[in-house]
Amino acid sequence: MNPATGSAICNVPFSLKEEIDQAVESSASAFEKWKEVPLTERVQYLFKLKNLFENHFEELARINTQNHGKTIVESRGDVKRATENVEAAIGAAYTLSKGEHLDQITTGIDEGTVKEPLGVFALVCPFNFPIMIPFWFLPYAIVLGCTVVVKPSEVTPVPMTWLAELIQDEVKFPPGVINLVQGSRETVEHLIAHPKVKGVTFVGSTPVGRHVYKLAGEHGKRAIVQGGAKNSILIMPDADPAIAVDSSVSSIFGNTGQRCLAGANIIVTKEINRNLI
């Protein structure tokens, strides 16, 4: 839906279990070849991905606003942060992929650690940052040799779906490296339970996050789970009231009040309280 008009802008079919299985199987099959691609070559795909974001910057921002409802300025920030995560993954790839070697850990014995990609990861994404949050995880997983199945929010599926099509057409990852499925709770639960999914990342509400974490644990899967927060803004006695109010309004109401780290409580000292009175 377009929240500005209340009208439907597209229809997205929820993936059947058979289709989810196909996406995971595709991802698992691609992993066997993708993990053998040299790191230097995998990084080149991320350079193409960065260029895609830059070439379609305004287009992606406007699609983001149309489906989510945040201001165009905030959507531009959404796309910019996604781009920065691709850049960070490029820079971190070599460091994150390095193993370790310890000479003579005991007499006549050396110790070595080799880091290897694990396989398929499911990325479960929230509605509040449809483009940025998938890219908290996707570029790092891809550049380190893993493959992904992305599940956008059923509330804001359009930006990531549009972006996935652009990636397929312009970046041209090998088939199966990036997969996309649609749906809600049933889709997520089926992904986590699938034996070929090695782990899940989640950003969303705390109650749902707890369920995802519990389910991942029951199935022996790795999990990165991030929930909501009740954040406090402490205004100190030396604060400029005008600046404090402006910053607090931005924190509380920016991104339609849906930031994970949005201000929820304002705490003022007695000194400030007297000054305001």
CATH of domain 17-96+115-228: 3.40.605.10
At residue 129 the predicted structure's pLDDT band, cuts being 50, 70 and 90, is very high
H or E segment and range at residue 42: helix 39-55
Residues of the chain with CATH 3.40.605.10: 17-96+115-228
Q: Is 260 a catalytic residue?
A: yes
In the block, tokens 């945040």 appear at 70
State which amino acid sits at residue 246: D
What is the pLDDT confidence band of residue 274, given thresholds at 50, 70 and 90? low
Alpha-carbon distance of 103 to 253, in angstroms, equals 55
- Band the pLDDT of 277: cuts 50, 70, 90: very low
For the cut 80, the answer to whether the pLDDT of residue 273 exceeds it is no
Higher pLDDT, 248 or 33: 33
Residue 122 has pLDDT above 80, yes or no: yes
pLDDT of 171 above 80: yes
Alpha helices in the chain (DSSP H): 17-34, 39-55, 57-68, 72-97, 138-143, 158-166, 185-193, 206-218, 241-253, 270-276
Distance of CA 84 to CAs 18, 32, 61, 87, 135, Å?
35, 28, 15, 5, 9
Which pair of structure tokens corresponds to residue 9? 């802008």
DSSP designation for 109? E
Determine the average pLDDT of the residues in 103-131.
94
Of 10, 125, 146, 260, which one is the catalytic site residue? 260
Q: By percentage, how much of the chain surpasses pLDDT 70?
A: 98
Q: What is the mean pLDDT of the chain?
A: 93
pLDDT in tens, 35-82: 999 999 999 999 999 999 999 999 999 999 999 999 999 999 999 999
pLDDT tens profile 211-240: 999 999 999 999 999 998 778 999 888 888
pLDDT at 241: 83
pLDDT digits (tens, 9 = 90+) for 9-47: 999 999 999 999 999 999 999 999 999 999 999 999 999
Element holding 200 (H helix, E strand)? strand 197-203
Euclidean distance between CA atoms 253 and 10, whole angstroms: 28
